[in-house]
């Protein structure tokens, strides 16, 4: 049996940031992850890093890779009816910007930093059962790579193992409430071996459905296509994907779409979820284990990292200063921020995605979208309010 102060389930961005900050502060912790290291460091997810998270990483001397190779983004572009609608972050942002730095790159950086500090990180070690969370010595039963089992006994468990992990399922029935909203459509997520066709995110509002273009690296681009909720990847062969991207991003002016081999596709059934509270006894939830937002606006990655910092700081207070106040306030503190993010993402979903797609109401609702976009561009106060939320100014 292993004993430690904090047992962390999941080596994604939230789990690894908690672990790295605790290790550097002298709080003992063990991280267990069901996947192997190569999978974790190559798992493609979000890539838009808000200035608040950049500042967070700088404060903790973890921004080296991001600052060296990340791409600065200081504007967003909408498209509609063949026209561009660019919005620059300044003067609203006062010099703040986004960085484009794929999530797997940051996870790799955090893994390397944690291991360099002598951290205990166990890949291919799935957590099977978490027990004792209503007491002061919870246990994580894990399966070792050799097939045997081991118990990790700790003071606190951090559940950062995603929406379908064991941590959330450990909370007793009735002790956690899940607030959920299902959207009536899905997004086809496309990763292509193609140089970005823009120096910023493009959100195209189109009567056939939205199309979002996001740069990932100088050689790789991400596209999202609004589609029917029950569509599968088999419904979207490569020829159809590029045809719809060309149609939905088209402009009435010269512009080049860079195409290339499609590396992967997947359907994302758009939904929002918040679980409250984010703590039960000695178990604390962070990231996707506690909340899910659709990818529009790039918020999920950022809010998970903000969870991680707040939780790590509360744990430091508890173990280093015997002060429980910040840790006890973790759930209400984070939920206030999370609901603010959910409100903005819900609003932006209606802005970008064609509502009522395929129904008689679609032409009317699409024109409401057009009017909303025109107001964002024409009204400085309305545009500024949008940018404050989008940039993550607050």
Give the predicted TM-score (pTM) of the model: 0.92
Q: Which two tokens stand for residue 69?
A: 């190779």
The pLDDT value given to residue 393: 57
Q: At what angle do helices 103-116 and 13-25 cross, to 10 degrees?
A: 30
The pLDDT value given to residue 18: 98
d(CA 363, CA 369): 10
The pLDDT value given to residue 71: 86
d(CA 238, CA 153): 49
The pLDDT value given to residue 94: 86
d(CA 54, CA 259): 31
Q: Are 8 and 156 in contact (CB under 8 A)?
A: no
The pLDDT value given to residue 392: 80
Sequence length of the chain is 394
The pLDDT value given to residue 87: 93
Low-confidence stretches of the chain (pLDDT beneath 70) = 393-394
- Give the number of other Cβ atoms within 10 Å of residue 370's Cβ: 14
d(CA 105, CA 231): 30
Annotate the chain with three-state secondary structure. Answer: CEECCEEEECCCHHHHHHHHHHHHHCCCEEEECCCCHHHHHHCCCCCEECHHHHHHHHHCCCCHHHHHHCEEECEEEEEECCEEEEEECCCCCCCCCEEECCHHHHHHHHHHHHHHCCCEEECCCCEEEEECCCCCCCEEEEECCCCCEEEEECCEEEECCCCCCHHHHHCCCCCCEEEEEEEEEEEEEEEECCCCCCCCEEEEECCCCCEEEEECCCCCEEEEEEEECCCCHHHCCHHHHHHHHHHHHCCCCCCCCCCCCEEEEEEEEEEEEEEECCEECCEEECHHHCEECCCCCCCHHHHHHHHHHHHHHHHHHHHHHCCCHHHHCHHHHHHHHHHHHHHHHHHHHHHHCCCCCCCCCHHHHHHHHHHHHHHHHHCHHHHHHHHHHHHCCC
The pLDDT value given to residue 216: 84
The pLDDT value given to residue 10: 97
Hey, what domains does the chain have and what are their CATH numbers? 2-73+96-179+271-344 (3.50.50.60), 183-269+362-391 (3.30.9.10)
């Amino acid at each position: 049996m292993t004993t430690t102060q904090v047992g962390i389930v999941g080596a994604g961005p939230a789990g690894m940031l908690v672990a790295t900050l605790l290790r550097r502060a002298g709080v003992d912790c063990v991280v267990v992850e069901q996947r192997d290291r190569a999978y974790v460091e190559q798992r493609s997810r979000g890539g838009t890093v808000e200035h608040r998270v950049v500042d967070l990483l700088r404060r903790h001397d973890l921004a080296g890779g991001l600052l060296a190779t990340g791409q600065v983004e200081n504007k967003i572009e909408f498209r509609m009816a063949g026209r561009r609608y660019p919005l620059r972050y300044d003067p609203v942002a006062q010099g703040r910007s986004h960085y484009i730095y794929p999530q797997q790159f940051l996870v790799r950086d955090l893994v390397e930093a944690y291991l360099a500090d002598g951290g205990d990180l166990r890949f291919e070690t799935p957590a099977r059962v978490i027990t004792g969370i209503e007491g002061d010595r919870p246990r994580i039963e894990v399966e070792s790579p050799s097939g045997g089992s081991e118990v990790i006994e700790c003071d606190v468990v951090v559940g950062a193992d995603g929406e379908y992990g064991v941590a959330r399922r450990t909370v007793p029935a009735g002790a956690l409430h899940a607030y959920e909203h299902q959207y009536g459509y899905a997004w086809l997520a496309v990763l292509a071996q193609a140089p970005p066709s823009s120096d910023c995110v493009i959100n195209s509002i189109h009567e056939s459905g939205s199309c979002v273009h996001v740069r990932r690296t100088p050689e790789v681009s991400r596209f999202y296509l609004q589609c029917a909720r029950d569509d599968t990847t088999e419904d979207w062969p490569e020829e159809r994907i590029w045809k719809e991207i060309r149609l939905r991003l088209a402009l009435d002016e010269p512009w080049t779409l860079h195409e290339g081999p499609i590396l992967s596709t997947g359907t994302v059934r758009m939904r929002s979820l918040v679980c409250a509270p984010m703590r039960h006894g000695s178990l604390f939830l962070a990231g996707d284990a506690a909340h899910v937002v659709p990818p529009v606006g790039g918020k999920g990655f950022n809010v998970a990292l903000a969870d991680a910092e707040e939780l790590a700081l509360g744990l430091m207070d508890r173990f280093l200063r015997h002060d429980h106040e910040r840790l006890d306030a973790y759930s209400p503190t984070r939920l206030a921020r999370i609901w603010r993010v959910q409100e903005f993402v819900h609003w932006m979903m209606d802005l970008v995605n064609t509502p009522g797609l395929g129904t008689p109401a679609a032409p009317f609702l699409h024109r409401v979208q057009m009017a909303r976009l025109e107001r964002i561009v024409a009204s400085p106060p309305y545009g500024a309010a949008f940018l404050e939320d989008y940039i993550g100014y607050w």
